[in-house]
Every structure is written in C-alpha cells, then in structure tokens.
Amino acid sequence: MTAPTTIASLEKYLASYHLALVQDKDKGKSVVATAPLERGAIVTTSQPLGTVPLKANRHEFCNYCFRKLGSTATTYNQTTPLQRCSRCKSAYFCDMACFKNAWLSYHQFVCQPATPNNHHHHDDDESNNKINDDEEEDDSTLDLEMTERVALNVSRFMKRQQVNGEQQQGMEPNDEETVQVTMEAFASLMDHLDNHPHYLLDHYASVAKTAKEKSYLVDTPLQEKQLIQFLGRFKCNNFAIYDEQLFTMGEGTYPVASLFNHSCRPNAAVLFDGALLVIKAIDNIQPDEEITIAYVDIAHSRTARQKTLRDKYFFQCTCERCRDDNVIGRIDGMLGEEESDWDRAERLLNGHHGDPTKQDDISKHIMQLVEEEWDLPVMTKTYNRTNGTIPDRSKPLSLQYYVHFLLPFLTPYLWSASNPAIQFVGTRSPTHHSNSANSSATGTILKQLTAFDDPPRHAALPDSAASDSYHDILGAAIDQVSTYPPAEIIPFRITTLSACTKLFVDTMMEGNWRAATKLGMYVLVQYSIIYPPYHPMLAQHLLLLAKSAWNSIIQNEIQGGKLETFQERGVRRWILLAKEAILYTFGKQSTMWREVLELEWIFIREQNLKK
C-alpha cells in the first residue's frame, strides 16, 4: 500500500474531537489537545482494521463485535446463547447481523466445513461450546489471521479507489471515522523493520508468503513486501482487546489509536466497547498538552517496562515515571525489581525453601501474617484519620502496619486532591444533610452515598501530609515509609505486590472474605501509588474490595460475630471510591456501574433497617 500524500481526512476527524497531530522532535508525531478535555471525556474512538479472537475462549463472546452476553446495561439479563457457525462450528456470533457482517468481511473466506476431529457430534453437549483442546494457537497463527484480515480490507479499499477515483474529501463527515480515515492512519504507522531481529523478519516473510498464496488473496494488488510491512506495524502498534473485567479476548489493529504515544504515567486510558476502542481521559487535559496512553502495564518495574518498550516498540521511555527528578519517578525506587524469568525458572526447578526473598515463601509468610497476626479491628482503631498514630520508627514496617499507616494518607485524599468536587460530611451544604453519614443518628432515611465520612484533608491526621496537592500527598507517603528499617518482607516491593495480588484472588475464590479484605486493602495502597487515581485498574480493584468487605461483614454475622463500626465505614469508603473511579472510567452504561449501585443499595438498605 502506498502512503497517501495527504492525511486530510484523518486531520479533520481528529479536529472533530479537538485533537491535532503534531510533529515531535523526539517522538516523530504526537497527539495533542486543542481544547480542554475533562476527566472522563471520550478523547476519541478507533475502529479496527482487523481483529482476531483468541481461540481459548472465543465461545464466550461474539467473534465479530467482541461483545459478551450481558456486557451492557441493555443486554445484562439476556439469556440467548451465542450462535455458532453451522458450517465451521468454530466461530460464534451474537446474532445474524454480526454473522452477516463477519461473512462479508472475512468469514466467507476462512469458513471451512468442520471435520469429526474438531467438533462433537452431539450439538447439545455442553462441551460442544468449547474449543477442542487439540487446537493450538501461537503467534504464527495470530499473525497469519491478522495479516489475512487486514489485507482483505486494504485490498477492498484499494480496488474501490481504482473504480471510484480519489474520494472527495469535502463530502466526508468530519466526526466519523470513515474507511479513508482508518487507511490514512494505518499508512502513517511506523513498521521499524530495520530494528526487528532477523528471526522475526524471517517469520514475517514466511507469514506473508503463506497469506499471499491463499486463494482469496492471490488477486490482491498487495505484494509480499507490503504484507511484511503490515506485520512490522502489527508488532509495534496492535492492541490486546479485553472485556470490562480486563480479561484479554483477542487482538486488534487500531490505526487511529496507534497514533497516541506511550507514557508510564498516562493521562488517558484504552477501553473497549465490544470491538470499538475508546480512549478516555483519566485526568483533566489542557490545550497543547500531549495525550498519552500506556502500552504496557505500569505496575511493572522500570527495568521490565523499559525492556518491553525497547524490544517491542523500539524506543526509550523518558516520561516522568522513568526519571528520578520528580515524585512520580520515585515510585520505581520503592517498587524495586520484580522476579525475572530466569529467577522463576530456577525457583521452579530447584525450589528455595525457607528463603523469604522467593515468591512461594513470600506467599506463605504473608498468609500466615494475614490469618494470625493482622488484627483488623485493633489496627483500624489505632491508625486512622482522627488520631494520626504513627508506627514505632525504630521497628521495621511490616505489612499490616504499612497498610493501616498509609491508608489515612491516600484514601480518599489522592482522589479529592485530583477532583475538588469530592465532598466530605463536614463540608457539605445543609441541603444535602439527608444523605450524610450521620443521618442514621438523626433518623433520616439514607438514600445514597454522596459524601465521605472522613475528615477533610486539612483536618485529617497525620498532618504531615496535609495538602491539597496530589504530588505532595504522594511524596509525603513515600517519605514516611522510607524512614523505617527494612522488614523481612518489604511491603512496598513489587515482589510483595505480586504475591498479594494472587493471594487476593485466591482468597476471594475460596470465600475467605476477611483475608481477602485485608489483602485487598494492601493492593489498594500499592495501586494508589502506582496508578493515576482514575485508572481502570484502580476502578476495578475498588469494586472488588468493596464486595469483599461487604461479604466479610455478612460472613462474620453468619458466624455469630459482632458487627463493628469500622467494618461499615470501610465498606462505605470503598463503595464511594469505586463509584467515583468507575464513573470517570467505565461510565454509567457499564455493568461495573450497575454492580456498584446494587452494592450501594444493599448497604443503604441495611443501614436504614437499623434505624
């Protein structure tokens, strides 16, 4: 494909979203805002030029639109199962419209009659909805499928141009991503073929040759050389497609979204509405400010992030998180290094019993601490926002002390520093008193949670972090914990976070809600430091923590335990923070918003019944 001499359609499309593509001496090009963008605003959307579902779970979502049943408010209670293609029995679609679109786009070419080896004879067998275990999927398969699908779409576009001539730019709607916009963006992407290792170039050549020999691509005007360029672009630009729970469902080529540069401290995030990629602002963005997204999970250490960015995307990141001259850059000094692939392999092969620096032993040590030493009522009453107690600085800061010491610094104050509209009970106007935390004392019926029952930032303790600045609060928290002697298991290390994240999921699956709540509180502390306040990972975790804390209360009552005030206040805080974060990330149309409102309703009902 020959790169167009103009990108007028693309520029008009970006302008409709108050964006501009500008030259950058270090990055080549960058996308900047031309008008203020508020947190939660849709920066832009991006249509896929090609998508490939992962085979492992493709029976769980529509292979064309990538929607799961019940993934939106309108389909949440939908019970109609996905329809499987009756011919190949390996592709699944939500309705006939998606099947027809897939058929016209690519499925007619790849749909082959099923053989006895790749499907069951009993169509009503539950196992028939699952992919045969013998089917294997590797990078070669994904690369070939993506190459074929993108090549089909590019070929159609090129042939249409030959028939119709150059499209009249003035006739195009500015605010819609037309095929012309998508193609202009795709042609502008870098392939970095000069930087790819030889083994990858050989792989690209093999995939391109195989694709070109397909009967439906023989007559394409695209040559193998161009298909190799496509593969180079895929390597450096493609996105994983994931659902609302952030589980990966497939891979997509999204040319418009690929125009946005990376930052380890992004001000925007990538979300998906089915197969449509949506870029949302997770911070307020000013005119002429670059809009950035994260190409990698920023919970990784600096060394790991830099290696991935260097090996996959061929650049050295110099964002504020990757420098040591600012507060955000100090986060990586806290995290330290994560376990390498070599360390993991050595541990699995040899084992390291009794060594607290090894991941398995860390997990055992943490669970023992959580179950036997972490007294949640005592810790909560000792370390809170009203008494400002500080752990003994002559002793190491173990996990539970780290959590209960930092929570008063960070929650909800990192959010209120980022969003001054957040209200506290003591600062609410009289017209809102019916929803305040002390409404139970006055007998007023509580209708919804709208204000935190914590003291406002200026009145909270410890006062060493009393500030309305996000960076000041974060910096003070890092300063405080860095003064303690090292513990046997250092709580703020990335290896500890890795172990606790897995344990958090495990304890939830086991129904051990009290342990899950403790671990979830620890993960929240770490996520609050690592991620921007309105990052999707934080929004998702806050909802999980709120659910865990509520289930812990129910579990405790069933077992005859006494309900503690701190438990109710904790649930209240996590629900409010989850609402705040979900509102600006996933939005009110998401199932997560529906779930947090349901939890809020249950919590309020119980509060009102006690009056």
What string of DSSP letters covers 470-503?
HHHHHHHHHHHHTTSPPPSS-TTSHHHHHHHHHH
In angstroms, the CA 519 to CA 506 distance is 10
Q: Are 526 and 566 in contact (CB under 8 A)?
A: no
Q: Is the pLDDT of residue 93 over 90?
A: yes
Dihedral-angle region of residue 358 (phi above 0 means left; psi in -120 to 50 means alpha; beta otherwise): beta
For a pLDDT cut of 90, what percent of the chain falls above it? 70
Q: Write b or e for each residue in 274-286: b if 16 or more Cβ atoms lie within 10 A of its Cβ, otherwise e.
A: bbbbbbbbbbebe
Lowest mean pLDDT among 203-207, 317-321, 408-412: 408-412
Label residue 79 exposed, middle or buried (CB < 10 Å: 0-12, 13-18, 19+): exposed
* pLDDT (tens digit per residue) in 520-578: 999 999 999 999 999 999 999 999 999 999 999 999 888 887 767 888 999 999 999 99
The upper half-sphere exposure of residue 522, i.e. CA atoms within 13 Å in the direction of its Cβ, equals 31
Q: Are 415 and 533 in contact (CB under 8 A)?
A: yes
Q: pLDDT per residue over 357-385, tens digit each?
A: 456 788 999 999 999 999 999 999 999 88
**How distant, in Å, are the alpha carbons of 368, 374, 512, 516 from that of 371?**
5, 7, 10, 10
Question: Facing residues of 28 across strands?
Answer: 24
* DSSP 3-state of 452: strand
Alpha-carbon distance 457 to 311, whole Å? 43
Find, among 405, 423, 524, 418, the residue nearest to 465 by Cα. Answer: 405
Angle, alpha carbons 407-409-414 (nearest 5°)? 100
Residues 6+ apart with CB under 8 A from 6: 184
In DSSP notation, 307-370 reads: HHHHHHS-----SGGG-SSSTGGGHHHHH-PPPPHHHHHHHHHH--TT-TTSHHHHHHHHHHII
**Packing angle, helices 565-584 and 591-609, rounded to 10:** 150
Burial of 443 (0-12, 13-18, 19+ CB in 10 A): exposed
Range 110-118, long-range pairs (CB < 8 A, 24+ positions):
110/145, 110/148, 111/85, 111/87, 112/87, 112/88, 113/87, 113/88, 114/87, 114/88, 114/89, 114/90, 118/89, 118/90
Average pLDDT of span 481-508: 95
Assess contact for 518 and 399: CB atoms under 8 A.
no
Q: What is the pLDDT of residue 126?
A: 38
Mean pLDDT confidence for 375-400: 92
Residue range 354-609, CATH number: 1.25.40
Q: Work out the pLDDT band at 305, boundaries 50, 70, 90.
A: very high
What is the rounded distance in angstroms from the CA atom of residue 45 to the CA atom of residue 388?
A: 45
User: What does the alpha-carbon distance between residue 441 and residue 329 come to, in Å, rounded to a whole number?
Assistant: 45
Helix, strand, coil % (nearest 5) of the chain? 50, 10, 40
What's the mean pLDDT in 53-60?
89
pLDDT at 409: 87
Q: Mean per-residue pLDDT for 149-167? A: 85
Q: Among candidates 478, 482, 519, which has minimal Cα distance to 497?
A: 519
Question: Which regions of 161-305 does DSSP assign to beta strands (E)?
Answer: 239-242, 248-253, 261-262, 268-273, 276-281, 292-293
> 275 φ, ψ to 5°?
-90, -10
Q: Distances from the Cα of 34 to the Cαs of 7, 14, 37, 290, 556, in angstroms?
A: 18, 10, 9, 10, 53
Domain ranges of the chain: 55-129, 354-609
pLDDT of 462 reads 74
Contact 71, 244 (CB under 8 A): yes
First to last CA, the chain: 71
Sequence-separated (6 or more) residues with CB below 8 Å from residue 494:
299, 300, 301, 335, 336, 337, 338
Q: Which of 395, 397, 456 is nearest to 423 (CA)?
A: 456
pLDDT tens for residues 254-292? 999 999 999 999 999 999 999 999 999 999 999 999 999
Q: What is the pTM of this model?
A: 0.90
Strands laid side by side in the 42-46 sheet: 42-46, 276-281, 268-273
Q: Round to whole Å and give the CA distance between 271 and 560.
A: 43
pLDDT value for 209: 96
Question: Residues 406, 391: contact at Cβ < 8 Å?
Answer: no
Mean pLDDT of 52-74: 81
**Euclidean distance between CA atoms 224 and 206, whole angstroms:** 10
CA distances from 245 to 526, 536, 586, 590, 591 (A): 19, 10, 10, 11, 10
* pLDDT grade for 426, boundaries at 50, 70 and 90: low
Q: How far apart are CA 77 and CA 573, in angstroms?
A: 29
